[in-house]
Structure 1
Amino acid sequence: MSNYSINSDSIKFLEKYLNEFSPTGHENEGQKIWINYISSYVEKIQTDLYGTSVGIINPNSPYKLIIEAHVDEISWYVNYITEEGIIYVSRNGGSDHQIAPSKRVIIHTEKGFVHGVFGWPAIHTRKPFEEKSPNIDNIFIDIGVSSKNEAINMGVHVGCVITYPDQFFIMNRNYFVSRALDNKIGGFIIAEVAKMIIENNIDLKFGLYIVNSVQEEVGLKGAKMISKIIQPNVSIVTDVTHDTCIPMIDKKIQGDIKCGLGPVIGYAPSIHKNIRELIINTANSKKISFQRLVSSRSTGTDVDAFAYSNKGVLSALISIPLKYMHTTVEMVHKKDIEQTILLIFETLQVINNENKFFID
């Protein structure tokens, strides 16, 4: 079995990648960082019209296997500016209205960043029996102006994207904490797999397409487009899934998943049994701990887009347990990241050595 541990150079890449803004529909700056890192480990880079980026090893092979993640992070749009300069918002992806009050924000304008805050009325001003919860109708942003014209003169207009400025840090040595771990941690994982292939001189018998898709958070859009372009035979998708051992989650509904116990192998109609069982057998033979999770109808990840594209693609899903999804303090365990990288790397070697899923 090969070994892998996250080193300081990899951490520097991950930190830079996570801290850069990549809101859905505006992923370009994050993609630049990812492409710059992965370009040393692939033979070819291609990018489609909407920004999905692909690093390719062995691009001339007729047999194509994708390992995939998505780069986009949830965000907000400026939706309405009052005459007093208060800004109301619309979601760009599944942004959580309940965490918004008192959060700092950055509004992306053609004139540069405009800083602001999600305001909220002080507790002293609220009637005890008429408490209002934060929702999309009442959360608002204050950028320190007194009129709509003042906001417009700063470059703010309807349609500007809004992100949170929270940045990456390591907590208690084992936990990586950041916004946008959903799913930039997947982009990190697939880049590290490519790195391992090159550093271990693996001679692939198929074309490996390392795909960092855009617009997953609004309906798997990037994966749908790139699958039609590449027309792969096999796809192994990475994403995050919920750690269900935190308070207020019902394991009977959400499953029993915990950070630190290994990658999560998915079961769903879009996940093909043969490729899933190959991954499980690889994990068992290489003594890589893993967990299992069922998705009833759809996984809600890019695996659904790949599986049902073209004439059908043999697809599987490997997820990373994550705490506090769609907040600015998403958390993943270092061990789960390392074990997922190893599992994908070892699975690719089994496919390579046994010529699984490809016809001579």
Structure 2
Amino acid sequence: MVSDTKKALCDFAFPGELSSDIIMSMRKNKIHGCHYILVKDDMDVHGSSTVGTIDGKEVLKVEDVFPLVANAQIIRLMALHKALQSNGYDFSTPIKQIIPELVMVEEGVADEINCSDLAAHMSGLHRISALQDKNIRRDNIITQLQSIQPVHSFRSTYHQSDIAEPIFELIIERLSKKDYVAFIREEIFGSLKLKYSTISEDDEQRTIIKSNGRDMLKLLMCLPESPIYEHLFKIYKSNIEYPLVDSTQQASGCLSLIKISNNGIDSYENFSIGNGYADLYVDLKEHKARLAVLCKYPEAGGKERCQEFVSWMRGRLINHLVGLSERAEELVSDTSD
């Protein structure tokens, strides 16, 4: 039976006031449903909430899944680390040791580039959307890299690129001798018992991972136990752009995450928006807390409003989690009297 103190802490972590504020912001920004997840390790408080009814109209069910981009990067890195570690490699291992036929345009890069360079966006390579004429897929990425001119010199600056995705997927297939989609299903979804999450491929072999609040809660709860976790916080480049803050001086590039320093609070984040969906991951490492937001918006003119909503959610939930410990001490004192 859950103790009175434990129940009070859980109720305190998800107060009605928070839900009311979120519904109000969703209504204002015309958001068509939202899953949000909160984890506070030092209080043993965690949970997910689905806000799916606005003005009496149901727009989202608890079991409904949304496509992930920002949070999918964490899942992909967990899978990559597992494949590398099982074969005696790590993120600093030159990729050429795994894929000997790797050839790149910039001299010497093929011998040095590793998974950290790609995950930290320090490769200097284009985004896939800028290379549409090449029809990049994991089954042709090594051939295509032979002719892709870099945007920046290798390791010279931070430049966000999703070209790491097919490369990582190919590495996982080479090392595991399994199809990438099957590997994710078995080694990540299966091991974490993610009941609702799915992975599929589109016609261009781009993988699409979908999940909901309940499964993302399981992921966030176990993440600190993953061998990849501590690697996420290493800084590779300072003063970079991040759409949810105003100044580049606040942001630094890490391993797939971006460190934000604001008002004395350090957070490590990733955000993505497009095609009617947005997702956010935030890690408050010093406060032993994590959060995620998944939401849906109308594609016709809704992207800007959705970014405003996610920015608001980010600030609201960060402040909520940071303040929980202090306020919980008062709550525990009250319930023990």
TM-score by length of 1: 0.23
Q: Say which structure is richer in strand.
A: 1
TM-score by length of 2: 0.25
Q: Say which structure is richer in helix.
A: 2
